[in-house]
Structure 1
């Protein structure tokens, strides 16, 4: 299956009425700090408190449309050892199907519906800033925007230690680890998925911004105190990236930031 705008629109139709069209909010205080007009897409208000409901629902619904589905198994904890092997074993034992969290074309197209909403809700946007972990959400949105609104730049914001630019350029990662040590625990996975890689390489190799944990914490504090939105650290990563660059030098007057989730463990507030 080709990951494209047509497949993203099919995903929208497939789960119509069961996924929220999340709002876009603004905040003058953040505009002043950032140096441009900032629009925040509130996927932390999505069902389950995360954008991930889109991809999972699209993948499962497509399976059901194609025939009976006894059940599905999916892993979410990206830092668990033997996660793929465990899922494969359970799927075989139970006769279930596996839905990977990001490296799955149907999941990617489901996440891409966020991009479709962004171009409708902020039609005059110059740029979109996305946190990147496994790359399912980032590649889905990027694929849609690159096809439908190629004038909008998509910037990927990563935590220190991910080294995404080198990976997109060279296609190799040498560290003997599979996670990044970061306060943004929702994007700790080191490598992007194989379906995500070519999309991000084509459109975003020169648009990667790296931020530190301190920069993520500062952005999180700004969102919590100025917008009163309780987002998770990963959702603050795009703002941290925007605050690190000069919007005027990038030619950005109106930026969209994706607040990807709001699942915060209040016993661990960074």
Structure 2
């Protein structure tokens, strides 16, 4: 049974290992609530996972440690287990999906772990880890469906309650459910009136589907760039705890996650990975069933792959109306581009790319399509530019926002 005593024990074990991460007000986040950020992206190894993995490994017997440990992870649990194993001088093998970001694979290796890459998703890495455990006799460290791991993650709940007295809700990312299980248990036990909301990527909503079906389900596939929460099947232990202690589970799209990452970078000077930003995305896009409340969003990790960061930023710009493309049908004659660019400039837009096409079979012989990519302030700004162009008899045939 998970108890407060076990979480207090975890807090004691972890006090010289982890950082008690800052809880910071985020008034720059455009939301219907007063947002505070619990910055676990600034934790050792770049995510909250070190809490659960280190505490779990601290509770192993000498016999279990002597066997060596094995774990499966998309990257963050891998780093937590690897660092904990290194500090305790325990041999360590981590199974990771071959789609895991190279940065996370290399970071895990840097803590001394051996890596086994599995073809497919996290769940395929999990299957490989169980097979290797049986073959080699390793001690398995589950990333979420384990009482000690959950207790370690629950220490975040203690910290939040200590850091903010007038708290109305906590918003927590969900993959397999270990983080929200520990946080929700701690928060609801000590402050039952506080709401706890979980957030999943819409393309990997295994816990949300389990809640809807009133039983654990396995998704056929997961499709999200938030690799840290791309889990096809929730744990049985985490499902039961979530069902008991979590008020509601919300989903957000990848575009909404990208917008949240961009906003955190620009407004909070904070780098978050996709899994870490889902809680903020839910608050930004007003998906929480509350208003004008003090809400803590756990930013669970910051280990974003720099190779996709540019794409994430671009999607975030599009989602927030900071960048858009317009395709305009024109009579192909001199001065048309000048007229379009003048209107955009006078409206405060900034043209960054122009593409000219006079070969489309759907257009008139004497016409052309002009695709303009421009930087804008927001969606309202885009609409103002479109109205001004149309007022000057320019025909918009396509808009990308």
TM-score of the pair, normalised by structure 2: 0.61
Q: Does the C-alpha gap of structure 1 residues 81 and 219 become closer, same or farther in structure 2, counting only changes over 3 Å?
A: closer
Say whether the 8 Å CA contact 1:4–1:147 is kept in structure 2: no
Query: The residue matched to 2:197 in structure 1 has which SS?
Result: strand
Match of 1:173 in 2: 217
Say whether the 8 Å CA contact 2:219–2:232 is kept in structure 1: no
Give the C-alpha shift of residue 244 in structure 1.
2.8
2:247 aligned with 1:250? no
2:182 aligned with 1:183? no
Q: Does the C-alpha gap of structure 1 residues 67 and 20 become closer, same or farther in structure 2, counting only changes over 3 Å?
A: farther
Match of 2:31 in 1: 34
**CA root-mean-square deviation:** 2.0
Residues 139-165 of structure 1: per-residue CA shift (max 9 Å, x gap): 111111111111110001111131644
2:12 and 2:259 map into 1 onto residues whose CA distance is: 38
Say whether the 8 Å CA contact 1:56–1:101 is kept in structure 2: yes
Say whether the 8 Å CA contact 1:126–1:252 is kept in structure 2: no
Q: Does the C-alpha gap of structure 1 residues 175 and 233 become closer, same or farther in structure 2, counting only changes over 3 Å?
A: closer
Query: The residue matched to 1:150 in structure 2 has which SS?
Result: coil
2:40 aligned with 1:54? no
1:255 and 1:81 map into 2 onto residues whose CA distance is: 32
Aligned length: 262
Gaps of 5+ in 2: 75-96, 98-120, 313-401
Gaps of 5+ in 1: none
Deviating above 3 A after TM superposition, structure 1's stretches of 4 or more consecutive aligned residues are 88-95, 163-166
Task: Identify, as 1 or 2, the structure richer in strand.
Answer: 2
Q: Does the C-alpha gap of structure 1 residues 38 and 82 become closer, same or farther in structure 2, counting only changes over 3 Å?
A: closer
Q: Does the C-alpha gap of structure 1 residues 89 and 184 become closer, same or farther in structure 2, counting only changes over 3 Å?
A: closer
Q: Does the C-alpha gap of structure 1 residues 163 and 56 become closer, same or farther in structure 2, counting only changes over 3 Å?
A: closer
- Structure whose CA Rg is larger: 2
Query: The residue matched to 2:28 in structure 1 has which SS?
Result: helix
Query: The residue matched to 1:198 in structure 2 has which SS?
Result: helix
TM-score of the pair, normalised by structure 1: 0.89
Aligned match of 1:63 in 60, 64, 82?
Answer: 60
2:259 aligned with 1:259? no
2:84 aligned with 1:88? no
